Amino acid sequence: MTEATDQPSKTKQGLGTILGLLILVFFVAGVTPSALRLFGQIQFKQRYDEIIAILESWETPPPGADPEEWKNCWGATTTATANVCFSKNLVTQAEMDRLLLDMQARQDAPNSWKRLEWYWHRLAETGPHGKKYITNFEYLWNDGASPEHQLTPP
What are the pLDDT digits (tens) for 130-149? 999 999 999 999 999 999 99
Q: Quick one: pLDDT at residue 14?
A: 63
- State residue 17's pLDDT score: 75
User: 69 pLDDT exceeds 70?
Assistant: yes
Mapping DSSP onto H, E and C, the string for 45-84 reads HHHHHHHHHHHHHCCCCCCCCCHHHHHHHHHHHHHHHHHH
User: Residue 138's pLDDT is what?
Assistant: 94
Establish if 7 belongs to a structural domain.
no
Report pLDDT for 88.
86
10 Å Cβ neighbour count for 127?
15
- Domain contains 137: yes
In a domain, 134, yes or no: yes
Q: What is the mean pLDDT of residues 111-119?
A: 95
Full residue range of the structural domain in which residue 145 is found: 44-149
Q: How many domains does the chain have?
A: 1
Task: Give the pLDDT confidence score for residue 41 in this predicted structure.
Answer: 77
Q: Please state the rounded mean pLDDT for residues 13-20.
A: 67
In a domain, 34, yes or no: no
- Residue 81 and residue 11: Cα distance in Å, rounded? 62
In-domain check, residue 133: yes
Residue 62 inside a domain? The answer is: yes
